[in-house]
């Protein structure tokens, strides 16, 4: 190879040119990464706007669980009754016809029934053939469903006032005694327990804002303003429901396994904050291992880590949560358990963002198959006791999770890409995601908390914001009570009516401290006996 001799000036120019080319190459590479990032964002935006929101993946539908249990043990169900002959032969093209259940068959048996007897015959009481009188020999029944709009009723309590005529005739002081009357839920107010319960369930169960309720009652000629309804709701909280809520908070932190989540809320009149700033509704609830479920909301002015720290001061155990760092800074006696559903969602978003990229999709399909196997195992283990579930998890699921993270560590990808962000999230959450294998009572996801906070999110779409912190705190208490009722198969309206009436009786008897025991759990025990 021939050597070329160049001057120092030419060599310096060559070095300068080489640095310029390298700089241009880096610039082009950055531009390519930016373009890919924008393309992925565009793909993901289109999918979110026009694509399916389901996280079910078609290519994984035929995925089987390797080395699980004996097939007979996995598929058998001793509680399942044998199918009838017509059910076996009703299968058409790999699907079974479902028996249609009519509305008439599904109506509750305890619904009130109004009987209307009809005796007038269309052609009169005489036989159209021979002219003799027709004689009744039977009857037929036709059922119809009557739906009646809500109505307002005025309750007028009239108490007898008695006096002693003998004392009056003798010129002595006349004794006057008035008959006792049920105590008012709110002294000096027209409100009844039923009225407050109706307004509360419409707002916090049916997500009907107070201004719509005001319009509804106005159509019936009842001018019940939203200010009056709001005053009734808040008085009920301050006089009765707040002490019940605080008792439930103490019961909640005494459990071993909890779930947590949070969602933003706009509060217009909060001291030191602009109306546009975000406040937060925090959610804490029991896990699936609890017999009596508790679902509690707590309003806070921000999302700082001090909020869960303060609420969970006396809690020791496992806390299911998402990847928010505020949960990870809790005391050492709290073990955070990550959510595999959040991780799966990020990988699916990365898959959507890649569009038609075969290489990236194949890699993501491979990663998602590991997670899908964990979900399939959990489906089979759902009904097993915690100890047995824990043993099977360590034997079958933990090796899959370890292979998943080993596969992630082998991937080299740009941190700015959707896949790179998903990989970084997974590796950053590895410790918390693997804590799932510490106890058989733990769950693979934090979906339980997400389902519980959804009613508040739906309600927020209707009422948009809270006016004051006092109103936001009241809403948190009502949501806590009605969602706890729903989790325990209790009618929220019936519970609120009973609690408000019983609290009025206890206050009248000087037993204010006993109001805290009027929890949904005690209501359920009382009415199940």
pLDDT digits (tens, 9 = 90+) for 37-66: 666 566 656 665 655 656 665 555 555 555
| DSSP letters for 384-408 | S-HHHHHHHIIIIIHHHHHHHHHHH
pLDDT digits (tens, 9 = 90+) for 260-318: 999 998 888 888 888 888 889 999 999 988 889 999 999 999 889 999 999 999 999 99
Residue 262: closest CA among 308, 223, 221 = 308
Q: Which of 44-48, 109-113, 382-386 has the lowest mean pLDDT?
A: 44-48
Provide the β-strand partners of residue 267: 466
Task: Answer whether residue 95 shows pLDDT above 60.
Answer: no
Residue 192 structure tokens: 């009844």
- The residue with greater pLDDT, 420 or 54, is 420
- The residue with greater pLDDT, 499 or 147, is 499
pLDDT at 352: 82
Q: Strand, coil or helix: what is 306?
A: helix
Provide the β-strand partners of residue 173: none
**Mean pLDDT in residue range 378-395:** 93
Residue 341: closest CA among 428, 431, 445, 465 = 445
pLDDT at 460: 86
| DSSP letters for 253-301 | TTSSEEEEEEEEEEBSS-TTS-TTSEEEEEEEEE-TT-SS--EEEEEES
Residue 158 structure tokens: 């009239």
pLDDT at 89: 46
Confidence of residue 217 (pLDDT cuts 50, 70, 90): very high
The whole-angstrom separation of Cα 293 and Cα 296 is 10
- Sole residue written with tokens 């998402």: 322
**Mean pLDDT in residue range 25-36:** 70
Q: Which of 79-83, 89-93, 153-157, 327-331 has the lowest mean pLDDT?
A: 89-93
pLDDT at 71: 42
Strands 317-320 and 334-337, how do they pair?
Answer: parallel
Q: What contacts 328, CB < 8 A, 6 or more positions away?
A: 336, 432
**Residue 234 CA from chain centroid, whole number:** 24
Task: Answer whether residue 85 shows pLDDT above 50.
Answer: no
**Mean pLDDT in residue range 493-501:** 96
- Which H or E run includes 18? helix 8-50
Residue 523: closest CA among 187, 248, 256 = 248
- Sole residue written with tokens 């990808």: 413
pLDDT at 374: 95
**Mean pLDDT in residue range 455-461:** 88
pLDDT at 174: 81
Angle between helices 193-204 and 469-487 (to 10 degrees): 90
Provide the β-strand partners of residue 261: 283
**Mean pLDDT in residue range 326-337:** 91
pLDDT at 241: 96
pLDDT at 48: 59
Q: Which of 207-221, 251-265, 325-339, 404-418 has the lowest mean pLDDT?
A: 404-418
Most confident of 11-15, 223-227, 360-364, 408-412: 223-227
Percent of the chain with pLDDT over 70: 83
Task: Answer whether residue 36 shows pLDDT above 80.
Answer: no
Confidence of residue 9 (pLDDT cuts 50, 70, 90): confident
**Mean pLDDT in residue range 20-36:** 72
The whole-angstrom separation of Cα 292 and Cα 502 is 22
The whole-angstrom separation of Cα 194 and Cα 496 is 8
The whole-angstrom separation of Cα 233 and Cα 237 is 6
> What Å distances lie between residue 501 and 196, 242, 477, 504, CA to CA?
11, 15, 18, 5
- The residue with greater pLDDT, 440 or 37, is 440
Q: Strand, coil or helix: what is 243?
A: helix
- The residue with greater pLDDT, 32 or 369, is 369
What average pLDDT does the structure give for the chain? Answer: 84
Residue 466 structure tokens: 């809270």
The whole-angstrom separation of Cα 355 and Cα 345 is 16
Angle (CA) 283-286-290 rounded to 5° is 165
Residue 254: closest CA among 305, 290, 206, 306 = 290
pLDDT at 5: 73
Q: Which of 13-27, 46-60, 125-139, 373-387 has the lowest mean pLDDT?
A: 46-60
Task: Answer whether residue 105 shows pLDDT above 70.
Answer: no
pLDDT digits (tens, 9 = 90+) for 177-213: 888 888 899 988 899 999 999 999 999 999 999 999 9
pLDDT digits (tens, 9 = 90+) for 142-156: 887 888 788 888 888
The whole-angstrom separation of Cα 245 and Cα 234 is 14
**Mean pLDDT in residue range 400-425:** 88
The whole-angstrom separation of Cα 136 and Cα 119 is 9
In the chain, the largest separation of any two C-alpha atoms, in whole Å, equals 145
Q: State pTM to two decimals.
A: 0.79
The whole-angstrom separation of Cα 478 and Cα 496 is 10
**Do the Cβ atoms of 321 and 337 come closer than 8 Å?**
yes
Confidence of residue 93 (pLDDT cuts 50, 70, 90): very low
**Do the Cβ atoms of 515 and 503 come closer than 8 Å?**
yes
DSSP 421: H
pLDDT at 72: 40
The whole-angstrom separation of Cα 354 and Cα 252 is 43
pLDDT at 271: 83
Question: What is the chain's length?
Answer: 529
pLDDT at 529: 64
């Amino acid at each position: 190879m021939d050597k070329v001799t160049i001057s120092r000036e030419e060599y310096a120019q060559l070095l300068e040119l080489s640095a310029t080319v390298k700089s241009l190459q880096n610039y082009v590479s950055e531009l390519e990464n930016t373009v890919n990032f924008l393309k992925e964002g565009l793909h993901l935006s289109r999918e979110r706007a026009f694509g399916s929101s389901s996280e079910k993946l078609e290519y994984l539908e035929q995925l089987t669980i390797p080395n699980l249990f004996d097939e007979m043990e996995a598929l058998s169900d001793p509680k399942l009754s044998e199918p009838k002959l017509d059910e076996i032969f009703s299968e058409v093209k790999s699907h079974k016809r479902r028996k249609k259940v009519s509305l008439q068959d599904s109506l509750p048996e305890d619904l009130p029934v109004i009987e209307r007897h009809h005796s007038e015959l269309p052609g009169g009481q005489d036989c159209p053939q021979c002219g003799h009188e027709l004689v009744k020999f039977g009857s037929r029944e036709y059922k119809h469903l009557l739906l009646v709009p809500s109505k307002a009723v005025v309750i007028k309590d009239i108490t007898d006032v008695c006096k002693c005529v003998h004392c009056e005739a003798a010129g002595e002081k006349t004794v006057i005694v008035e008959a006792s009357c049920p105590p008012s839920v709110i002294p000096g107010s027209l409100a009844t327990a039923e009225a407050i319960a109706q307004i509360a369930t419409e707002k916090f169960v049916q997500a009907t804002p107070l201004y719509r309720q005001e319009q509804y009652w106005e159509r019936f000629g009842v001018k019940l303003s939203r200010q009056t309804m709001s005053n009734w709701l808040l008085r009920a909280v301050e006089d009765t429901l707040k002490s019940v809520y605080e008792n439930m908070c103490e019961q909640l932190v005494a459990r071993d396994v909890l779930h947590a989540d949070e969602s933003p809320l706009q509060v217009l009149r909060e001291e030191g904050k602009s109306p546009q700033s975000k406040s937060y509704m925090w959610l804490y609830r029991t896990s699936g291992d609890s017999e009596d479920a508790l679902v509690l909301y707590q309003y806070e002015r921000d999302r700082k880590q001090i909020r869960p720290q303060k609420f969970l001061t006396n809690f020791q155990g496992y806390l299911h949560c998402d990847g928010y760092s505020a949960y990870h800074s809790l005391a050492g006696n709290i073990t955070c358990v990550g959510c595999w559903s959040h991780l799966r969602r990020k990988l699916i978003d990365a898959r959507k963002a890649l569009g038609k990229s075969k290489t990236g999709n194949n890699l993501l399909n491979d990663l998602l198959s590991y997670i899908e196997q964990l979900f399939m195992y959990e489906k089979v283990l759902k009904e097993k006791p915690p100890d047995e579930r824990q043993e099977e998890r360590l034997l079958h699921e933990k090796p899959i999770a370890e292979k998943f993270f080993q596969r992630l560590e082998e991937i080299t990808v740009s941190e700015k890409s959707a896949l790179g962000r998903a990989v970084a999230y997974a590796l950053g959450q590895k410790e918390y995601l693997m804590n799932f294998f510490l106890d058989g009572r733990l769950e693979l996801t934090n979906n339980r908390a997400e389902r519980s906070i959804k009613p508040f999110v739906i309600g927020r779409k209707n009422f948009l914001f809270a006016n004051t912190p006092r109103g936001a705190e009241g809403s948190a208490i009502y949501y806590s009570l009605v969602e706890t009722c729903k989790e325990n198969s209790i009618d929220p309206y019936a519970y609120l009516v009973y609690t408000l009436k019983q609290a009025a009786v206890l206050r009248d008897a000087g037993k204010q401290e006993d109001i805290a025991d009027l929890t949904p759990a005690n209501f359920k025990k009382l009415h199940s006996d």
